[in-house]
Amino acid sequence: MSSDTSLPIIVFDVNETLLDITSLEPLFARLFGNKILLREWFEQLVLYSQTMTLSGLYMPFGELGISAL
């Protein structure tokens, strides 16, 4: 008889599903002259967020976003 008591895990990917970053395009276009930089910044933000999580470190997402910028 198996004594496996693990519970099922559900994982949600909320980046750009629940978080619509396109509203920031005009701001990036105005500040940096290119709205494409929004995507580059967000890719870096997600990368650093994953790195911090896997390292066991914590930084609020907003602060991490500022640092990535």
Instruction: Report residue 38 as tokens.
Output: 């929004």
Homologous superfamily in CATH for domain 21-68: Putative phosphatase; domain 2 (1.10.150.240)
pLDDT at 2: 62
- The pLDDT assigned to 14 comes to 72
Q: What is the pTM of this model?
A: 0.72
Residuewise pLDDT in 10s, the chain (69 residues): 566 788 888 877 776 777 788 999 999 999 999 999 999 999 999 999 999 999 999 899 899 999 999
3-state secondary structure the chain: CCCCCCCCCCCCCCECCCECHHHHHHHHHHHHCCCCHHHHHHHHHHHHHHHHHHCCCCCCHHHHHHHHC
